[in-house]
Amino acid sequence: MQLFGGLITGIAHSLKSPIFSLTGELEGFIDLVQEYKESSGDKTVLDEDNKDIVKDMRKWLGKMREQMEQISDAITAIRSQIVVLNSDEEVTFTIEDLIKYVDILMKNTLKQKLIILNFTIKVPVSIEIKGNFNSLVQVINNLILNSIDSYEGKTNEIIEVVIDKKDNHLIISVIDNGKGIPKSIQNKIFKEIIYSDSEEKNGLSLFVSYSNIKAGFGGEMTFESNEKGTIFNIIIPI
């Protein structure tokens, strides 16, 4: 239930942020409509002034359309996977499903932090995975949040999510060029509950992530980290 709650929280955030922005943009558009209404009967107002108002209206409409598309994406996520989200049972899903939901749930956070998320898929997206979909999405999102945190407020940085296959195992790698994990805790992160700032907000430690991959998929997690960045690998048998 904790993982279900975490995913719902992510969806709620995906809706709340664009709705909040849309409210402000709508107020701005209403002000412009009123301004245009008042100026249209004023002979002292030049045509160029009215054209500028119309130009601003189009700009606000463009912003509102963008927010509405984000809301639509989040609603699509809820509608198409409502059965999965209400169950912790094993289900069969594709890599395409996984990428779509990670992208939808992380989109607003990445936009706010001005961080770029790149996906590199080296296997067919139709490959099927059996396990707890909700859990895997949450683990990947947690790793992405850790990577964002590692940049310590820097913007225009890149996080890579690489999906590859070796032998009979799917390997999902989350890669950043952030500050790295302190050596003093590297041997503890899969053995003890150690929270970074991002993990504390997300409610899911690396220890819990590791446990979920082990229990939910019979998989493993590994990592490499130094002062130049960190690579986390989720290894799942398929």
Angle at 233 between CA 230 and CA 234, to 5 degrees: 145
Per the DSSP assignment, residues forming a β-bridge with 164 are 171
What is the average pLDDT across 123-138? 90
Quote the pLDDT of residue 148: 93
Give CA–CA dist 19/16, Å, rounded: 5
* Angstrom distances, CA of residue 33 to CA of 17, 24, 25, 55: 25, 15, 12, 12
Write out pLDDT tens, residues 77-92.
Answer: 555 545 444 556 678 8
pLDDT digits over 145-193, tens only?
A: 999 999 999 999 999 999 999 999 999 999 999 999 888 888 888 876 5
> What's the predicted TM-score (pTM) here?
0.65
